[in-house]
């Protein structure tokens, strides 16, 4: 599956993307705010691609002028596939994303969010798409608000096993509307 935006191609991951993923995932400003640890090697990035990123609804973010160079990730975790938080219902999904620091502030994440939301509503027939952001992650909060996600709830003591920490996470959501379908 390939999705296109004005400036990007969103495509499925390949193992050969490991070096590019590591380039951004080794940065301590990227992973921990998204809820996962800093990658320590290309092999670790390759393992994450193989075990987590190679899903039909997870996309490598690439710029149109260089589709072989991954700059981030965006994807959907479907409740129907056994994923999702306790408050989510069948027919819903959670969108997650990260992007390399050198691409922050360029509007690429909201552009990718819009494409994946459209895919979720039009292709997967989802009724609601959730999105979370760690307390203090104002960039992610703004990206979600720009795409019509509205605040739904806060989980005060959410355990993140990837970082072995208890966090406060805020959740926003967007529902399918006539314009999305």
Q: What is the pLDDT of residue 163?
A: 81
- Across the strands, what pairs with 51? none
Would you list the domain boundaries of the chain?
2-126
Q: Three-state SS for 15?
A: helix
Residues 6 or more apart whose CB falls under 8 angstroms from that of 12 comprise 1, 2, 54, 56, 58, 59, 60
Q: How far is CA 17 from each of CA 35, 40, 49, 120, rounded to the nearest angstrom? A: 21, 16, 8, 24
Phi/psi for 129 (5° steps) reads -120, 125
- Per-residue HEC secondary structure of 126-170 comes to CCEEEEEEECCCHHHHHHHHHCCCEEEEEEEEEEECCCCEEEEEE
Q: What is the pLDDT of residue 146?
A: 86
CATH fold group of domain 2-126: Aminopeptidase (3.40.630)
Per-residue pLDDT of the chain (181 residues; tens, 9 = 90+): 899 999 999 999 999 999 999 999 999 999 887 788 899 999 999 999 999 999 999 999 999 999 999 999 999 999 877 676 788 999 999 999 999 999 999 999 999 999 999 999 999 999 999 999 989 888 889 889 989 999 999 999 888 888 888 989 999 999 987 444 3
Q: What is the pLDDT of residue 140?
A: 86
Judge if pTM exceeds 0.85. yes
Do the beta carbons of residue 124 and residue 76 sit within 8 Å? yes
Q: What is the pLDDT of residue 168?
A: 92
Nearest to 128 by CA among 60, 58, 74, 80: 80
Q: What is the pLDDT of residue 180?
A: 42
């Amino acid at each position: 599956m390939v999705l296109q935006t004005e400036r990007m191609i969103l495509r499925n991951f390949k193992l050969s993307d490991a070096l590019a993923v590591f380039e951004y995932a080794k940065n301590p400003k990227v992973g921990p705010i998204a809820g996962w640890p800093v990658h320590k090697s290309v092999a670790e990035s390759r393992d994450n691609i193989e075990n987590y990123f190679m899903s039909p609804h997870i996309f490598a973010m690439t710029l149109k002028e260089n589709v072989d160079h991954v700059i981030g990730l965006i994807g959907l975790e479907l409740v129907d596939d056994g994923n999702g938080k306790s408050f989510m219902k069948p027919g819903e999904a959670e969108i997650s994303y990260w992007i390399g620091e050198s691409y922050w502030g360029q509007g690429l994440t909201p552009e990718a969010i819009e494409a994946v939301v459209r895919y979720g509503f039009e292709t997967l027939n989802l009724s609601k798409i959730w999105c979370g952001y760690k307390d203090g992650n104002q960039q992610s909060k703004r990206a979600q608000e720009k795409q019509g996600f509205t605040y739904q709830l806060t989980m005060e003591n959410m355990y993140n096993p990837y970082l072995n920490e208890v966090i406060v996470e805020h959740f926003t959501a967007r529902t399918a509307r006539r314009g999305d379908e």
